[in-house]
């Protein structure tokens, strides 16, 4: 059975993003809960299968990690299509996990993954370069041998450089998250080209920083609760994360 309509061709321009009220950051989780409750057992099965595939890929030296990075948007695009099916009154199916590989979506979503991978590599190179400049080779050696008392003293003397390095990594990671958040849904559902999707996602995230801050604070609380019963709560929170991503796309870009 087809799990999604064919990707629009030619590629569409993204819609103008809406600005959400701060309280919508909480409402996104409410909608995510409704998406999960629409097919709870299938959601658990699909997300567990994705986690298992990710673990297998990561354990393959070098190539596995690269493949995981490139294919993550492909799987996410399929999960967005699963959410979209539920929103249209259709059932969530296990095949939705692989819907990003079909109907002309694999290429654009894989390109999205390659761009994100390249951005991670550039961020890593920048961080290493800054580390060499701010804390030097001795500081890097101390980071590798932090249990050594002398290494601890070296780390203490380089604390300002380390804090600056952490700040750069956090800012860089946040900017990349902003560019990626809406991108799989924009490519898989709307048929937007990868670069245009990344730009539209960044612009939409920037325009909705306050509701996303509220969203993040709620997420921290939910993550703590999900981790308490031996991490079993993540069987629910994991699918809800996917649902919240779709909910945010529908609120910001949906018709």
Q: Which residue has the tokens 């990626």?
A: 180
Please report whether residue 89 resides in a domain. yes
Q: Which residues are within 8 A (CB) of 11 and not within 5 positions of it... i.e. 6 or more apart?
A: 108, 191, 192, 193, 196
Please report whether residue 253 resides in a domain. no
pLDDT number for residue 141: 57
Tell me the pLDDT tens digit for each residue of 141-188. 555 555 555 555 555 555 666 777 888 889 999 999 999 999 999 999
Please report whether residue 223 resides in a domain. yes
- 3 state SS for the chain: CCCCCCCCCCCECCCCCCCCCCCHHHHHHHHHHHHHHCCHHHHHHHHHHHHHHHHHHHCCCCHHHHHHHHHHHHHHHHHHHHHHHHHCCCCCCHHHHHHHHCCCCHHHHHHHHHHHHHHHHHHHHHHHHHHHHHCHHHHHHHHHCCCCHHHHHHHHHCHHHHHHHHHHHHHHHHHHHHHHCCHHHHHHCCCECHHHHHHHHHHHHHHCHHHHHHHHHHHHHHHHHHHCCCCCCHHHHHHHHHHHHHHHHHHHCCC
pLDDT number for residue 127: 83
Q: What is the length of the chain?
A: 255
Q: Which residues are within 8 A (CB) of 75 and not within 5 positions of it... i.e. 6 or more apart?
A: 50, 53, 97, 98, 100
Tell me the pLDDT tens digit for each residue of 24-72. 999 999 999 999 999 999 999 999 999 999 999 989 988 998 999 999 9
Q: Contact at 8 Å (CB) between 46 and 79?
A: yes
pLDDT number for residue 135: 63
Phi, psi of 227, deg, nearest 5: -85, -15
pLDDT number for residue 45: 97
Is the entire prediction scored with pTM above 0.75? Answer: yes
pLDDT number for residue 132: 73
Tell me the pLDDT tens digit for each residue of 4-17. 655 555 567 788 99
The domain tally of the chain equals 1
Q: Could you list the residue range(s) of the whole structural domain that residue 69 is in?
A: 24-116+180-248
Please report whether residue 35 resides in a domain. yes
Please report whether residue 226 resides in a domain. yes
Please report whether residue 152 resides in a domain. no
Please report whether residue 56 resides in a domain. yes
Please report whether residue 57 resides in a domain. yes
Tell me the pLDDT tens digit for each residue of 181-230. 999 999 999 999 999 999 999 999 999 999 999 999 999 999 999 998 78
């Amino acid at each position: 059975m087809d799990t999604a309509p064919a990707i629009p061709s030619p590629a569409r321009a993204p819609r103008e993003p809406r600005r959400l009220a701060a309280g919508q950051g909480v409402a996104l989780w409410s909608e995510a809960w409704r998406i999960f409750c629409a097919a709870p057992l299938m959601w658990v099965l699909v997300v567990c299968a994705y986690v298992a595939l990710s673990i297998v890929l990561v354990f393959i030296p070098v190539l596995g990690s690269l493949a995981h990075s490139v294919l993550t948007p492909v799987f996410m695009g399929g999960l967005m299509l699963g959410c979209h099916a539920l929103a249209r009154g259709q059932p969530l199916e296990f095949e939705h996990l692989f819907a990003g590989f079909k109907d002309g979506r694999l290429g654009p979503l894989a390109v999205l993954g390659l761009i994100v991978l390249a951005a991670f590599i550039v961020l890593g190179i920048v961080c290493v370069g800054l580390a060499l400049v701010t804390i030097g080779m001795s500081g890097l050696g101390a980071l590798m041998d932090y249990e050594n008392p002398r290494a601890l003293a070296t780390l203490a003397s380089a604390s300002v450089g380390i804090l600056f390095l952490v700040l750069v990594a956090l800012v860089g990671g946040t900017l990349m998250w902003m560019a990626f958040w809406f991108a799989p849904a924009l490519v898989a559902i709307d048929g937007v080209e990868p670069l245009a999707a990344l730009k539209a996602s960044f612009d939409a995230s920037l325009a909705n920083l306050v509701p996303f801050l509220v969203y993040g604070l709620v997420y921290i609380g939910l993550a703590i609760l999900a981790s308490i019963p031996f991490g079993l709560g993540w069987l629910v929170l994991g699918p809800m994360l996917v649902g919240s991503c779709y909910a945010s796309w529908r609120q910001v870009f949906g018709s």
